[in-house]
A and B are shown apart, each in its own frame.
Chain A
Amino acid sequence: MDLNLDAPHSMGTTIVGVTYNGGVVLGADSRTSTGMYVANRASDKITQLTDNVYVCRSGSAADSQVVSDYVRYFLHQHTIQLGQPATVKVSANLIRMLAYNNKNMLQTGLIVGGWDKYEGGKIYGIPLGGTVVEQPFAIGGSGSSYLYGFFDQAWKENMTKEEAEQLVVKAVSLAIARDGASGGVVRTVIINSEGVTRNFYPGDKLQLWHEELEPQNSLLDILNAAGPEPMAM
């Protein structure tokens, strides 16, 4: 068993970004692992860059946090100088510049999504190496391997906001079911002209998939039933 607690903190992850008619929906799981130990089971992988642009982080936790911190700082300055909110394209480009120019040192894949008044909702995928690709939907992280076929079949143009969010939650929960490095809760962020909405779907409320069992005699039931001191000897 490779319980290597000195391993760098990485986010196994499943991250997803989807455009719909009027904005974007970003989604991610919440598991951060150090080797085989789950260091944080409720992490927030969708971080804010500006009021209207968010980024989903995957790969090395430290690298992705540092990149998003720098880009948030640059975008803040840019917004002040420009006098209006930054566009999603500019945010994606700044991330790409950091990712590409430091490609030897960084190990992080990112999905930038947001809404601006010129282009509407846009998703840009920036995988390892620093390519930037504008896509109608993007997936990333170790759990994304299980979602390529799913999205080919399930994504369609001009979905509504509710359809898009359901699609994202379904996709992330399917990946969680199959990928060991993804788990926890599903977080989604919806960005459109009205603003930003964050949602939270706890892991035990997600739909069960093929061969998953209903919880029986779950520890969660015992803990909740017996009150605050369940383990009295």
Chain B
Amino acid sequence: MDLLKVNWGRRKHSLFYYLFLASKQLFPLDLYLFSPNPFRFDQPSSSSRLFDFGRMSQAGVDVPAKGGFSFDLCKRNDMLIQKGLKAPSFLKTGTTIVGLIFKDGVILGADTRATEGPIVADKNCEKIHYMAPNIYCCGAGTAADTEAVTGIFLSNIDMVSSQLRLHRYQTGRDSRVITALTLLKKHLFSYQGHVSAALVLGGVDITGPHLHTIYPHGSTDTLPFATMGSGSLAAMSVFEAKYKEGLTRDEGIKLVAEAICSGIFNDLGSGSNVDICVITKGHKEYLRNYMEPNPRTYVSSKGYSFTKKTEVLRTKITPLMERVEITEVGEAMEE
């Protein structure tokens, strides 16, 4: 039953039929490390991440139980491209991300716009990811890649934040920034630049404050101030003009906010609000939406108010599971 060979002539609603059937199948949890993802694109027009099952959609075909990457979908994708179907674009974080070292620690900053081609997909996304209680990482590039490489990605134990936590349990010590750096660098290098994640990693550990940048190909730099992403040039110009060593906390936050704002206003891929994270010895502050220089404005100065509330016509509560009362009679079971 060739569910997966999409027939172009079908109308939109049959797509849900495919999804419905695909989701009912069991799919193998293959965790092959090096593989470019054969994205599924069923809808001809706009990109829709909902249908991006990747390998999971091999359900309907008889997948042989051996290991290795199955290239069936790649051939299908090529055929569709030849027929003129445009692949969906990845959700990228256009981004301005910055970091700087100040007197007592590290300040990281990021904008909050996530773009999908020319459209803003998320106006308030979080780009400052948690790695360890004393280490945070800003991510630019493909949103999925930065989330996956830094996060606690449950089906693939590889991911750096969870690796760091296991390492902490094993060693009994707080994580060091250089550890996170090496894990990230190894991961990104092994994918030879295909995991499109450009990161600014900052934290304070027992050896002091550290700030590093990591490029998608796996190279790293250690700097007192750093910017990454499409807005990096705009932000770097602010840093180069105004950075000096030994900034206080308020000066540092002000400078970081200024650099991000410069990215927000001068770069099309960055926008919305400013997130800031201040890490010092033994203490961190995540200032989500520290500044909102692009508030939503309404046509009417009063804003909107809805006088008539929604009427409740009928209330019916159906319990999904029967409540079963268990009464203990007699003695406990013995093995």
Q: Which of A206-233 contact B (CB under 8 A)?
A: 223, 228-231
Are B218 and A65 in contact, with the CB atoms below 8 A? yes
Closest to A230 in B: B241
Q: CA of A185 to CA of B189 in the docked complex: distance in angstroms?
A: 28
Asked if A62 meets B244 with Cβ closer than 8 Å, knowing A5-B230, A5-B232, A37-B233, the reply is: no
Closest to B140 in A: A5
Asked if A223 meets B241 with Cβ closer than 8 Å, knowing A5-B230, A5-B232, the reply is: yes
Asked if A60 meets B242 with Cβ closer than 8 Å, knowing A5-B230, A8-B193, the reply is: no
Distance between B224 CB and nearest chain A CB, rounded to angstroms = 9
Q: Which of A40, A42, A65, A229 contacts B185, CB < 8 Å?
A: A65
Q: CA of A6 to CA of B57 in the docked complex: distance in angstroms?
A: 31
Q: CA of A231 to CA of B220 in the docked complex: distance in angstroms?
A: 31
Asked if A228 meets B244 with Cβ closer than 8 Å, knowing A9-B215, A9-B219, A62-B217, the reply is: yes
Are A9 and B217 in contact, with the CB atoms below 8 A? yes
Q: CA of A42 to CA of B196 in the docked complex: distance in angstroms?
A: 24
Distance between A153 CB and nearest chain B CB, rounded to angstroms = 35
Q: Which residues of B contact A97 (CB under 8 A)?
A: none
Asked if A66 meets B189 with Cβ closer than 8 Å, knowing A34-B215, A43-B221, A230-B241, the reply is: yes
B31 within 8 A of A: no
Q: Which residues of A contact B219 (CB under 8 A)?
A: 8-9, 32, 60-62, 65
Give the dominant DSSP class at B's interface.
loop
A128 within 8 A of B: no
| Range for the number of chain A residues in contact with chain B | 20 to 34
Q: CA of A40 to CA of B213 in the docked complex: distance in angstroms?
A: 10
Are A61 and B217 in contact, with the CB atoms below 8 A? yes
State the interface size on chain B (CB cutoff 8 A): 20
Asked if A8 meets B217 with Cβ closer than 8 Å, knowing A62-B189, A223-B241, A230-B241, the reply is: yes
Q: Which residues of B contact A37 (CB under 8 A)?
A: 233
Q: Which residues of B contact A94 (CB under 8 A)?
A: none
Q: Which residues of B contact A32 (CB under 8 A)?
A: 219, 221
Q: CA of A39 to CA of B220 in the docked complex: distance in angstroms?
A: 11
Q: Which residues of B contact A40 (CB under 8 A)?
A: 213, 221, 223
Q: Which residues of B contact A39 (CB under 8 A)?
A: 213, 215, 221
Q: Which residues of A contact B221 (CB under 8 A)?
A: 32, 39-40, 43
Chain B positions 234 through 269: 1 when the CB is less than 8 Å from some CB of chain A, otherwise 0: 000000011010000000000000000000000000
Distance between B132 CB and nearest chain A CB, rounded to angstroms = 22
Q: Which of A42-82 contact B (CB under 8 A)?
A: 42-43, 60-62, 65-66
Q: CA of A65 to CA of B241 in the docked complex: distance in angstroms?
A: 30
Chain B positions 177 through 210: 1 when the CB is less than 8 Å from some CB of chain A, otherwise 0: 0000000010001001100100000000000000
Closest to B196 in A: A6
Asked if A231 meets B223 with Cβ closer than 8 Å, knowing A61-B217, A62-B215, A62-B218, the reply is: no
Q: Which of B1-50 contact A (CB under 8 A)?
A: none
Closest to A229 in B: B242
Are B241 and A61 in contact, with the CB atoms below 8 A? no
Distance between A232 CB and nearest chain B CB, rounded to angstroms = 11
Are B244 and A60 in contact, with the CB atoms below 8 A? no
Q: Which residues of A contact B218 (CB under 8 A)?
A: 62, 65-66
Q: CA of A9 to CA of B193 in the docked complex: distance in angstroms?
A: 10
Closest to B141 in A: A6
Closest to A34 in B: B215
Q: Which residues of A contact B220 (CB under 8 A)?
A: 65
- Give me the interface of B with A, judged by CB distance under 8 Å: 185, 189, 192-193, 196, 213, 215-221, 223, 230, 232-233, 241-242, 244
30 contacts between A and B (CB under 8 A): A5-B230, A5-B232, A6-B196, A6-B216, A8-B193, A8-B215, A8-B217, A8-B219, A9-B217, A9-B219, A34-B215, A37-B233, A39-B215, A39-B221, A40-B223, A43-B221, A60-B217, A60-B219, A61-B217, A61-B219, A62-B189, A62-B193, A62-B215, A65-B219, A65-B220, A66-B185, A228-B242, A228-B244, A229-B242, A231-B241
- Give me the interface of A with B, judged by CB distance under 8 Å: 5-6, 8-9, 32, 34, 37, 39-40, 42-43, 60-62, 65-66, 105, 223, 228-231
Q: Can you name 5 extra interface pairs (CB under 8 A) apart from A39-B215, A62-B193, A230-B242?
A: A8-B215, A43-B221, A66-B185, A229-B242, A231-B242
Chain A to chain B: the 3 pairs with minimum beta-carbon distance, closest first:
A61-B219, A62-B219, A62-B218
